[in-house]
A and B are shown apart, each in its own frame.
Chain A
Amino acid sequence: MANTVNLTINGMSVQAEEGMTVLQAAQKAGVYIPTLCYHPDLSIEGVCRICVVEIKGQRLLCPSCAYPVAEGMDINTHSPKVREARRTIIELLLANHPDECLTCSNNQKCELQRLAKELGVQQVRFEGARRDVPIDTSNPSVIRNMDKCILCKRCVRVCHEMQSVGAIFANKRGWDTVIAPPFNKELSEMVCVFCGQCINRCPTGALKGNDPAAEVWEALSDPDKHVVVQTAPAVRAAIGEEFGMPAGSLVTGKMVAALKMMGFDKVFDTDFTADLTILEEGNELLHRLKTGGTLPIITSCSPGWINFIEHFYPEQLPHLSTCKSPQQMFGALAKTYYAEKMGIDPSKIVVVSIMPCTAKKYESERPEMRSSGYQDVDYVLTTREAAGMMKEAGIDLPNLEDGKFDLPLGMSTGAAVIFGNTGGVMEAALRTVYEVVTGKTLENVEIKAVRGMEGVREAEIDLDGTKVKAAVAHGLANARKILDLIKEGKADYAFVEVMCCPGGCIGGGGQPHPTSEEIRKKRAEAIYAEDSGMALRKSHENPAVLTLYKEFLGEPLSHKSHELLHTKYTAKTKKKAKA
């Protein structure tokens, strides 16, 4: 237990722990201090100076996010001097910021906008040159408009610290500083994995997803098109936040109802193909165990993760499961199995995905993802973008009656919904593998050892005498740790789950803002709640999946499965730059 330090904050006597920052001490005492470059997921940057406070005896105002508490410290968080300083800083930012708030993608969610209001900025006294750099639209996932950037470097920090990718840096110096890939290249030219974690942490509209809403609206209003939508597991545990609901609100039924109101012909569930993934991937694991194939087998559901391993660890590609992600399995089946079954011309089917993810946008456009003979998934909307469309359609999501997914591609189990959480694919796979291998019924399906928010987690599963070691990692910096262990021959895992984003898909780059571990934990709880409330909780018990095998695929890893549900990976040779 750290030593207690006695402070005065705004005249109140307050106790804090030694080693805390002034900001932490204030938060603990319930005193609000505005912040901008500070982010709870990231290291301290201390550059925006919005969180400055007045500390008695100090000549300068001190950044509370970086300033450690000390015994007897007398702090004023909102003195006239502090308020004037904060206002001036916001004015300086606004003087170099496009006046586009009303049409900005981040309108009403922008932290700069909120601070301007909150700090009483009613005019901008400064004027002069403004940053004018081209918008980077080079890729399907992330659009970068650096004219709106305030150089808080949250994006840089998340890219380097949490993801260990390092695609973006500060280029140039001083007033000309621009956050960009090295040498001011476009994102598509560098090692960006398109995870979108930068977007999740951007306080302004400088970063956003590449939004296909207009195309989706057009498809929806085209009577010739049969437009189906699939929703990823993590979306239902977060989309409510876009409508003002608290983090952790589970809105599966309301979301389905909203999508039906928007005019989708069928509302399906990516959970269906998540169950299917378990059967394919579980069997792939068993096959590799039996035949001495490459181990550990590593999951392949997370497209940001796939981009990462293709860029940084191409020699370890044989470890990846050959399974496509559930999104892409869905697309391939929608335009083959479903089209056949319903007698719909697949060229008229439009597959829309709602994903917590921006890398899914890139994934859907990969040339490998056309095994139906068409682009398997046509449009990928993030959770945020889907909510935007719902609002545009006048849908009041929180107050809708629950709707139900359509069949057959809307049928799923609890094992599928937990794909949204880190450790979920592992848990779902173990539920099935255990029963397949042992022939026994798994009584307690909740495998707590693989749950949680620890960056890397290990578990050993007893398959009736055969011990299988498994590991789970989320966030690419953690994935790197496991890959390095495998590279050094220090890992004896049979099965590894990697999710690109912190917390898994519930923390994906397409999810609502803001994000923090606290918020991600609440979303994860919602996902687990959905699982525990379901009658079927094991993928191999999904009747629609069993029917699919019977009617169409034959068996797991069949020729047809390979054709439609599996893929190959390619080593990428784009330039890498290290911090």
Chain B
Amino acid sequence: MPLYRSHILVCTGTTCVLKGCTAVQSALIAEIKRRGLENEVKVVETGCLGISEKGPVMIVYPEGVTYCQLKVSDIPEIVEEHLLKGRTVSRLVYTGPVTGEVKPAHPGRQKEQRIVLKNIGIIDPTSIEEYIAYGGYEVLGKALTQMTPEQVVAEVKTSQLRGRGGAAFPTGIKWELTAQAKGDNKSVICNADEGEPGNFKDRLILEGDPHCVVEAMIIAGYAVGAKTGYLYIRGEYHQSVAHTEKAIADAKAMGLLGKDIFGSGFDYDIKVFKGAGAYVCGEETALIESLEGRRGESMVKPPFPPTQGLWGQPTVINNVETLANIPHIILNGGEWYAGIGTEKSKGTKIFSPCGDVFYPGVYEVPFGITMREVIYELAGGTKSGKPFKAVLVGGPSGACVGAESMDKTFAYEDLAPGAGALIVMDEDKCIVDTVNNCLKFFVHESCGQCIPCREGTKRMYEMTKSWTEGQGEEADLALMQALTSNLALTSRCGLGQVAGTAFATSYKLFPDEYLSHVVGAECPTGKCTMTNGGGKNNG
């Protein structure tokens, strides 16, 4: 392996691509070559660094300097000053002091406790050597050669890790059920069909540290007695797919996947499967249907996947973030993990605040952090500086929470974080318009099988749409409440069950704003265009 004196990690996540990182990267490579530095400096593509708002972004190692908002014209100066002369181009530096660790993007970053995201932005995600150099696959060796599958499961149970995809089911129990279920073709599925608007944590993990998920999937396979792992990745996540596929190929080449891993006699393989774009495929039974080659539609439960999943066999399905915790739990022990967080919510949780915040991004923090800390310190408060109005916790499927909950803590026993999206709205945002958008999403993504969700989401959306146009009727509000509770009680899967949550929770917080739209045909924020002539804020 050639040695370089410097590595430059260029973020090629979706947002940075939109902001022009491809041209910046090409210019960088060309300039390095022109200066004859190609054997000294290596340019590495990495996944989203969580600060793409300021993209294009790159980090120069070993100094660890983060440059942001780069233009092609900035490149000669960076190469000349930083790479040749060793002087930081301070006008382009993102923020914070120069250290060997990942840069605190802003002071609030110090609240972070990175376990899952430990390697993100540090290592080259396409290099298995770097992953190993940072301790990777050591835990796999430990699990496979020094622990029984039962011990692995016990460690995960001790950690009290719960599913990070939103449902928060205890991971250890899921593994135990699968391990104990009878079947000769068990599977492990990593659910990377991250489709909930506002969530982008799984993409960051797969783009920036794919081996960590691969390693976790092998451990999971060993623990439950599976032969095959499937990584079901959202189809739009091109770089996640590319990095994961490379990680799997490299792991295979090193004998970390395949036959007789670490001489343990354990055989295991992982396949990557690209989703075709249906949100509902993030629901585990729909995901299994899709994997088996059918329409992505949720199935009746029970049976649940741990007893009857893929191909009718016992199956573990875990979210990316959930799995990414596993190597750390096995390495440091379940007790260690259970020491982080709150009484009922152990470990860390990744949040992805977005919307009207100053620092949108991806942050990993221990459970028990207050919403105020996440929104005001990590995410820097509202971008506009105007008062905070509300936040959709978990995304459109989550609850709408207002300022009165600012000092609640993120924990399953207090304010459940869902998958971690925090869609923040300042006072200029119209709640009715926002909920209307959420419902439009659910109408589009309903698979159409069960009546409450298929017909109910449509009627709900039609109502909110009419409200944003000043065409509502007072009786609509009662109908919406009836539908919300009907969908929550009777829909076949989570999609329909939560489709009305944003309405129900926001209506409690902002009844006057709804009444103003529905009865008064007025939008207090002026966001909605009323078509019936009423309303003073028609803009």
Chain A residues whose CB sits within 8 angstroms of the CB of B497 once the complex forms: 60
Interface contact A66-B300, CB-CB below 8 Å: yes
Interface stretch (choices B20-28, B390-398, B450-458):
B450-458
Interface stretch (choices B6-14, B368-376, B482-490):
B482-490
> Is residue A177 within 8 Å, beta carbon to beta carbon, of the partner chain?
yes
Minimum CB–CB distance from B445 to chain A (whole Å) comes to 7
The CA-CA distance from A177 to B455 in the complex, in Å, is: 11
- Of all chain B residues, which has the CB nearest A52? B490
B486 touches which one: A48, A85, A128, A176 (CB < 8 A)?
A85
B447 touches which one: A126, A173, A579 (CB < 8 A)?
A173
Within B423-457, the residues touching A (CB, 8 Å) are 443-452, 454-457
> Is residue A61 within 8 Å, beta carbon to beta carbon, of the partner chain?
yes
A49 touches which one: B302, B447, B451, B475 (CB < 8 A)?
B451
Interface of B is mostly: helix
Chain B residues whose CB sits within 8 angstroms of the CB of A150 once the complex forms: 451
Interface contact B454-A170, CB-CB below 8 Å: no
A95 touches which one: B450, B455, B489 (CB < 8 A)?
B455
> Is residue B171 within 8 Å, beta carbon to beta carbon, of the partner chain?
no
A89 touches which one: B278, B444, B448, B452 (CB < 8 A)?
B452
Question: Could you mark each residue 171-183 of chain A with 1 if its beta carbon is under 8 Å from any beta carbon of chain B, else 0?
Answer: 0111111000000
> Is residue B271 within 8 Å, beta carbon to beta carbon, of the partner chain?
no
Interface contact A92-B451, CB-CB below 8 Å: yes
Question: Could you mark each residue 269-296 of chain B with 1 if its beta carbon is under 8 Å from any beta carbon of chain A, else 0?
Answer: 0000000001000000000000000110
Minimum CB–CB distance from A265 to chain B (whole Å) comes to 50
Chain B residues whose CB sits within 8 angstroms of the CB of A326 once the complex forms: none
Within B472-495, the residues touching A (CB, 8 Å) are 475, 479, 482-483, 486, 488-492
* Given A66-B300, A129-B462, A92-B455 contact (CB < 8 Å): yes
Residue picked from B447, B486, B492, most chain A C-beta under 10 Å: B486
* Given A60-B497, A61-B489, A175-B451 contact (CB < 8 Å): no
Residue picked from B295, B447, B451, B475, most chain A C-beta under 10 Å: B451
Minimum CB–CB distance from A75 to chain B (whole Å) comes to 15
Residue picked from A66, A84, A92, A150, most chain B C-beta under 10 Å: A92
> Is residue A81 within 8 Å, beta carbon to beta carbon, of the partner chain?
yes
Interface contact B489-A60, CB-CB below 8 Å: yes
Interface contact A48-B458, CB-CB below 8 Å: no
> Is residue B459 within 8 Å, beta carbon to beta carbon, of the partner chain?
yes
Question: Could you mark each residue 19-49 of chain A with 1 if its beta carbon is under 8 Å from any beta carbon of chain B, else 0?
Answer: 0000000000000000000000000111111
Chain A residues whose CB sits within 8 angstroms of the CB of B278 once the complex forms: 173
* Given A85-B486, A175-B454, A151-B449 contact (CB < 8 Å): yes
Chain B residues whose CB sits within 8 angstroms of the CB of A88 once the complex forms: 452, 482-483, 486
Interface contact A85-B490, CB-CB below 8 Å: yes
* Given A88-B482, A92-B456, A174-B443, A61-B451 contact (CB < 8 Å): no
Interface contact B490-A128, CB-CB below 8 Å: no
* Given A46-B300, A92-B459, A174-B454 contact (CB < 8 Å): yes
Chain B residues whose CB sits within 8 angstroms of the CB of A346 once the complex forms: none
> Is residue A93 within 8 Å, beta carbon to beta carbon, of the partner chain?
yes
Residue picked from B300, B445, B490, most chain A C-beta under 10 Å: B490
Interface contact A48-B448, CB-CB below 8 Å: no
> Is residue A68 within 8 Å, beta carbon to beta carbon, of the partner chain?
yes
Chain A residues whose CB sits within 8 angstroms of the CB of B475 once the complex forms: 125
Interface contact A128-B300, CB-CB below 8 Å: no
Chain B residues whose CB sits within 8 angstroms of the CB of A129 once the complex forms: 458, 462
The CA-CA distance from A61 to B490 in the complex, in Å, is: 6
Chain B residues whose CB sits within 8 angstroms of the CB of A151 once the complex forms: 448-449, 451, 454
Interface contact A49-B492, CB-CB below 8 Å: yes
Question: Could you mark each residue 344-381 of chain A with 1 if its beta carbon is under 8 Å from any beta carbon of chain B, else 0?
Answer: 00000000000000000000000000000000000000
- Of all chain B residues, which has the CB nearest A49? B490
Interface contact B479-A170, CB-CB below 8 Å: no
Query: Please, could you name 25 A-B residue pairs with CB atoms under 8 Å apart, sorted by A?
Result: A45-B300, A46-B300, A46-B450, A48-B450, A48-B451, A49-B490, A49-B491, A52-B489, A81-B489, A85-B489, A85-B490, A88-B486, A92-B456, A92-B459, A93-B451, A96-B455, A126-B459, A151-B451, A151-B454, A170-B295, A173-B295, A173-B448, A174-B445, A174-B448, A175-B455
Interface residues of B (CB under 8 A from A): 278, 294-295, 300, 302, 443-452, 454-459, 462, 475, 479, 482-483, 486, 488-492, 497
Q: A66-B300, A175-B448 provided; 4 other pairs, C-beta below 8 A?
A: A60-B490, A60-B497, A92-B459, A170-B295
